[in-house]
Structure 1
Amino acid sequence: MAIINLLGIAQGLFTAVALCTVKAGNRQANYLLAALLVSFAIGIAGATLGASGYYMEFPHLIRVGDPVVLLIGPLFLFYARSLTRNKLTRKDLLHFVPFAGYVLYLIPFFLQPAAQKVAFVQQMQESTSPGILFIILLRSVILLVYTYFTYRLLNHYNKQLKEQFSNVERLNLDWLNQVAKLLLVVIACSFLMYALILTGHLSFLVSNYLTSLLLTSVIYTVGVLGIRQARVFVMPASVEKNVVTHSVPVVPEEVRPVARYENSTLSEEKSQKYLQKLLKGMQQDKLYLNPDLSLQLLADTLDIPAHYLSQVINEQLGQNFYDFINSHRVEEVKARLLDPAYSHFTILAIAFDSGFNSKSAFNLAFKNQTGQTPSQFRVQVKK
């Protein structure tokens, strides 16, 4: 387990260095992710040092990594905010107060001689101090709060994207949502381990190893997602520009729908007029065939203010922009699958020609709308 943890530390540090050397894309986000990975690596190193017995060789490193755990939550939130273009301010430095406070609290310990530090670790392994456990539990609670708010921010951001764009695969942050979910699992496991320690069913030594392995899994997850999705590390300029103009504030989800259009000046007459113009653009002009279609581009094409167009789609049709456009694309695919002239085309070719630019997004939209996979639909058509 120590070897696996050491490999995780190496992976985190290597990825952090790589991120700091990338000059393209969102450099602030890259630096924040690098700092987050270094924090994970230090946390893993501290736990592994104590669990493997190497603290005897380097006693003055004991508890050096403890405060760093308090950096993980704020850095994770700041990284998500930097990707969603919620600007960081000087007030955000207050998020580091718990870290600074914990460092001050540990200064007397850091000034102790090596023998006392070694004795502290040995005492922890034999009989856990309730005070130390409380501090460790408090760190997990703080991390839980930050992870929860980060998860909410990411969900709000991804929903907002669907109000603006018809293809969101290059813009959404689903990969980061997966990391947030994994962190929540890690925190849940931590709480379970604390309960087992208090009841005497788990030693502090074993919990150190398990915690290190869980944090290592987070580093490996980020690495794998980085390989699968290059934009995790380098966001294309065109995508970055779109995200800049559509930042998402942290607003409680239950509040937004109620207050969204209460101050709108759109009359019922104009709403119906815009609706007819919109439906004509879809049915006759087939504007949905443009894979790069966005709310703003559609609004410019139809000569309708973008905020009014969004309101019409939401209120009159009960859909967001993403679902509205892709429902027309699915109907286009179905029509072409029924047309013998397209029998020699692959399903994916038809999907891309109908405005989709992602196989996964197409399959999901088709299944949600028809209850069948595209292949099942084509087989049924042939029968």
Structure 2
Amino acid sequence: MLINLIHILVFTSFLFLSFIIFSNPLKVNKKANIWFGFFLLLWATFWLDEILILVKAKPLGTISNLILYFFQFLTPIILYLSIVFFTNPNYKFSRKDFTYLIFPTIYLFLLFYYKPNLTTSILIIFLISHALFYALKSYFKIHKHQQQIALFSSNTFDINLKWLEHIILGILFISIIITIFNLFYFGLPLNLYINIIMLFTAYFISYNALKQKEIFPKEKYRDEIITINTTEANNQISAKRKLVSDSELIEFKSQLIHLVTEEELYLNHEINLASLSEKLEVTPHQLSYILNNGLKQNFFQFINSYRVERAKVLLLKKSSEKLTILGIAYASGFSSKTAFNTTFKKFTNQTPSQYKKQHSVL
């Protein structure tokens, strides 16, 4: 039967994917991927009942089910913790993190004292509220991360966790549907369609998780980069104390512009705040201060303004007519066509093709 095959494929896909993420073949974002692996493993257990029926195994007992339901309830929390470590690999647990166990404890209490007529509706509301809370918390965490990485990276598109953002929105929708379905036992077609969607979700996660990049640079300044990776912290540094004097700020600003333009450092798509600070012989904190206070730009804006200007020249240059858009992107320091198109439009309000067409006519 098709539905049984889909159940097996979904269960084994998430199970195998969790193993791959745990093994982390690319050795990137190690702590985050451990938590993400646990998330996928817990996600696989939602199909455990169907698998046990298919293999004609003995159903789980009451206590085993309670333990399983408790850990399944932790799934949104585990996903959120993985995102915490994606955005800050130096994160340390503290006493306040015990608050994560408040909702699961209440849920466990409701399961122990379950009464069909009274508790079912409460469980539905509780499950959906819990999933919604952590989905939104995760979404805003990623959104904040997307703003913060501009402080130290010139190519943010490989590390902006956009793929996780899509997964969160998809899982939020699917979780609500599955929760309602499991509690009210809707018809077979819905179950089939949702499981097909989940199968494609597993493939989507596989594709993106296995090509993820290390978010934070591995240089000696890694820890310092992480400490300034909050807009609030950066603003506090700028407002409360000067990291360089006013005269030094003018001098460093001039040196920075000269260094980047003369050596064309912006053409290196891997350049980041740490590597540029070393060339300028200042700390990443100081360079961030110089950019914010001397040039009124973050690192992403500073480097990509040069790349966009370079691309403008190449787009209209006759000797570059044989270059494709991708070729111009690489020749301007961008790491991909997507990064080029998005960044170019952000700076000019036009795509590269639109810019070339308009100015070629002129």
TM-score category by the smaller chain?
0.7 to 0.9
Partner of 2:93: 89
Q: How does 1:1-383 map to 2 (within 5 A)?
A: 2-3=3-4, 4-22=6-24, 25=27, 26-45=29-48, 58=59, 60=61, 64=66, 65-84=68-87, 85-89=89-93, 91=95, 92=97, 95-96=100-101, 98-99=103-104, 102-103=107-108, 106=111, 129-186=117-174, 204-206=184-186, 217=197, 220-228=200-208, 230-232=210-212, 235=213, 245=223, 246-247=225-226, 259-265=236-242, 266-383=244-361
Aligned partner of residue 206 in structure 2, secondary structure: helix
Deviates more, 1:326-335 or 1:17-26: 17-26
The answer to whether the Cα contact below 8 Å between 1:40 and 1:69 also exists between their aligned partners in 2 is yes
The answer to whether the Cα contact below 8 Å between 1:179 and 1:222 also exists between their aligned partners in 2 is no
Aligned partner of residue 20 in structure 2, secondary structure: helix
Deviates more, 1:280-289 or 1:163-172: 280-289
Larger relative contact order (C-alpha < 8 A, sep ≥ 6)? 1
Query: What CA deviation, in whole Å up to 9, does each residue of 1:243-282 have, x standing for no partner?
Result: 953437997x7x5575342222244333333322223334
Matched to 1:38, the amino acid is L
Q: Structure 1's 209 and 103: CA in aligned 2 closer, same or farther, altered over 3 A?
A: farther
Deviates more, 1:326-335 or 1:273-282: 273-282
How many residues in Structure 1 have an aligned counterpart in Structure 2? 352
Q: Structure 1's 9 and 78: CA in aligned 2 closer, same or farther, altered over 3 A?
A: same
Query: What CA deviation, in whole Å up to 9, does each residue of 1:124-162 have, x standing for no partner?
Result: 6xxxx2422212321222222222222222222232221
User: So what's the TM-score if we normalise by structure 1?
Assistant: 0.75
Distance 2:337 2:30 in 1: 30
Q: Structure 1's 160 and 242: CA in aligned 2 closer, same or farther, altered over 3 A?
A: farther
Deviation at 1:33, TM superposition (A): 2.1
Q: Structure 1's 19 and 302: CA in aligned 2 closer, same or farther, altered over 3 A?
A: closer
Deviates more, 1:21-30 or 1:135-144: 21-30
Matched to 2:104, the amino acid is F
Alignment gaps of 5+ in structure 2:
none
Distance 2:251 2:288 in 1: 14
Matched to 2:312, the amino acid is K
The answer to whether the Cα contact below 8 Å between 2:221 and 2:274 also exists between their aligned partners in 1 is no
The answer to whether the Cα contact below 8 Å between 1:39 and 1:72 also exists between their aligned partners in 2 is yes
User: Percent of aligned positions with the same letter in both sequences?
Assistant: 23
Q: Structure 1's 359 and 89: CA in aligned 2 closer, same or farther, altered over 3 A?
A: same
User: So what's the TM-score if we normalise by structure 2?
Assistant: 0.78
Q: Structure 1's 168 and 256: CA in aligned 2 closer, same or farther, altered over 3 A?
A: same
Aligned partner of residue 160 in structure 2, secondary structure: coil
Aligned partner of residue 333 in structure 2, secondary structure: coil
Deviation at 1:214, TM superposition (A): 5.2
Q: Structure 1's 103 and 342: CA in aligned 2 closer, same or farther, altered over 3 A?
A: same
Q: Structure 1's 364 and 59: CA in aligned 2 closer, same or farther, altered over 3 A?
A: closer
Deviation at 1:287, TM superposition (A): 2.3
Deviation at 1:231, TM superposition (A): 3.1
Distance 1:243 1:212 in 2: 50
The answer to whether the Cα contact below 8 Å between 1:165 and 1:321 also exists between their aligned partners in 2 is yes
Distance 2:265 2:8 in 1: 54
Distance 2:61 2:239 in 1: 61
The answer to whether the Cα contact below 8 Å between 1:74 and 1:96 also exists between their aligned partners in 2 is no
Aligned partner of residue 66 in structure 1, secondary structure: helix
Query: What CA deviation, in whole Å up to 9, does each residue of 1:93-139 have, x standing for no partner?
Result: 66345435644664577xxxxxxxxxx8xxx6xxxx24222123212
Matched to 1:273, the amino acid is E
Distance 1:74 1:269 in 2: 49
Deviation at 1:309, TM superposition (A): 2.3
Alignment gaps of 5+ in structure 1:
110-119, 195-201
The answer to whether the Cα contact below 8 Å between 1:165 and 1:295 also exists between their aligned partners in 2 is yes
The answer to whether the Cα contact below 8 Å between 1:86 and 1:249 also exists between their aligned partners in 2 is no
Deviates more, 1:350-359 or 1:149-158: 149-158
Deviation at 1:39, TM superposition (A): 1.7
Q: Structure 1's 209 and 71: CA in aligned 2 closer, same or farther, altered over 3 A?
A: farther
